[in-house]
Amino acid sequence: MINVGTRHIHNWIFVTGSIRSGTTFLSDILATPLSVDYIHEPFNIRCGMPGMEQRYQYIAETLETDAMRALDRQFEKLKRYDFDLQTSRYANDPSYIKMIKRVVGSRGPFFLRLAKANYLHRHCVVKDPTAPLVARHLHTAHQFKPVVIIRHPASLVASFARVSWWPETRKLLSQPLFVRDCLSEEDLDWYRSYDHSSLSDACFHWLFTYRTLLEWADTFGWPVITHEELCAHPVETFGALFDALQLPWSSYVERKIQRKTSDGNSPEAKQGRVQDFSRDSAQIFEMRRDSLAPSDRQTIFDITQEVALELYSRESFNLPTPLNTT
């Protein structure tokens, strides 16, 4: 496979957050200019670099384990494009998608081939919501600029429910160094006090992941955007982000954003689509949030409020009105 090398790339960007938080759409827009390469989920155990075995893997700055040191070596390969990506295959893929994947591979291998052959590249956007806890080390040891995208926990949980994709908090808690560095005994006791339904477990995953990312973002000055501001003001939000990341803005980029987010599109994803990037973005939040039962919205608020109220109002959860007992 052609690899023109990465010596001309001076701007490495890592887009992360939670699954279903908008990382794919965000990266799709950021990688629009010809000078920007796109690398799709290199740390994903299903479609990333061979050898990826841990979803939501945490890497400490001290590289205390063999697994962390091996992952750090993968980061070095990443910056040379000295790696391959696997094709993701799913049983419910439509027949035409299965055929396309047999010919050109899934998004990861396809965009990697383009990146390796791109003589014009000066920037690279790496996207992976399955590995948010590598962001600090990518920044401090490998000069990446992380971008954190956050989605309102009620909207995010509703999106998980729509496609039956649920993150698993146990994959965080099974990593002793993450527990040591990022959680307290109170966190663990509080987690154990809940029923561990898919909904409550997803809330704890949101809380533990985003609390960690926001602490890092505050320390290092990373850009943080919400899915909701991206939906409400897409052109303005992307314009500011392109400027902060020193990416080339153009009228073509602006037209692409307008086309994909205009009110001429439906806010709901097309039937059978896990991801649909042409939506009426301004209506997505309330539609998703209000698809949940009031009791579920209350549970989400109760678990996530420590972090959520830094970004969203209590009213944004549309909580049930307490009964008047007087």
Q: Which residues contact 252 (CB under 8 A, 6 or more apart)?
A: 32
Per-residue pLDDT of the chain (326 residues; tens, 9 = 90+): 689 999 999 999 999 999 999 999 999 999 999 999 999 999 999 999 988 989 999 999 999 999 999 999 999 999 999 999 988 877 777 777 777 777 777 899 999 999 999 999 999 999 999 999 999 999 999 999 999 999 999 999 999 999 899 999 999 999 999 999 999 999 999 999 998 899 999 999 999 999 999 999 999 999 999 999 998 999 999 999 999 999 999 999 999 999 998 765 444 544 444 443 444 556 788 888 999 999 999 999 999 999 999 999 999 999 987 655 44
> Which pair of tokens denotes residue 293?
């039962």
pLDDT at position 47 is 93
150 strand-pairing partners:
226
CA distance linking residue 222 with residue 316, whole number of Å: 25
- Among the listed residues 223, 137, 163, the one whose alpha carbon sits nearest the alpha carbon of residue 19: 163
pLDDT at position 251 is 98
CA distance linking residue 171 with residue 121, whole number of Å: 36
Q: What is the pTM of this model?
A: 0.90
Domain ranges of the chain: 11-316
pLDDT at position 264 is 58
What are the φ and ψ backbone dihedral angles of 317, each rounded to 5 degrees? -85, -10
Name the CATH superfamily, with its identifier, for domain 11-316. Answer: P-loop containing nucleotide triphosphate hydrolases (3.40.50.300)
pLDDT at position 106 is 87
pLDDT at position 320 is 85
CB 57 within 8 A of CB 71: yes
pLDDT at position 59 is 97
pLDDT at position 98 is 73
